[in-house]
Amino acid sequence: MANWINVLDIKNEWDKVINNKIGTEELATIIAHKLSHINKGCNERLIKERDEIVADFIKFVACSEDTDEFDKLMNRLYDWGDTDIDGCVLYGRKLCWIQTF
């Protein structure tokens, strides 16, 4: 099991989307806000990538209601979070757990 340096906790918001209490646009706004505060373990490249992902979530809110686009953004976020920090793939430190459950 990986050792996660950060946690992006969106469990409550994720549940609200599933229960149709908020839409993906509101979830995207929340993700962008919370993600923008994650710095621990980030080098310059990871901060730049994080900022690009934040900007893409904000663009999604302004320009899209396409769930496929949201899924692509989430996959990009998961990939960013799965970044190996210390080079140990199986039991090493990873950047950020995206908590949806």
Phi, psi of 54 (to 5 degrees): -55, -45
Phi, psi of 83 (to 5 degrees): -60, 130
Yes or no: say if 35 and 50 are a contact pair by the CB < 8 Å rule. Answer: yes
pLDDT of 1: 59
Structure tokens at 26: 């509101």
2 pLDDT band (50/70/90 cuts)?
confident
In the chain, where the domains are located: 3-99
3-state helix, strand, coil in the chain (%, to 5): 55, 15, 30
Question: Mean pLDDT for the chain?
Answer: 93
| pTM of the shown model | 0.92
Is the pLDDT at 89 greater than 70? The verdict is no
Percent with pLDDT over 70 in the chain: 96
Range 36-64 average pLDDT: 94
How many residues are there in the chain? Answer: 101
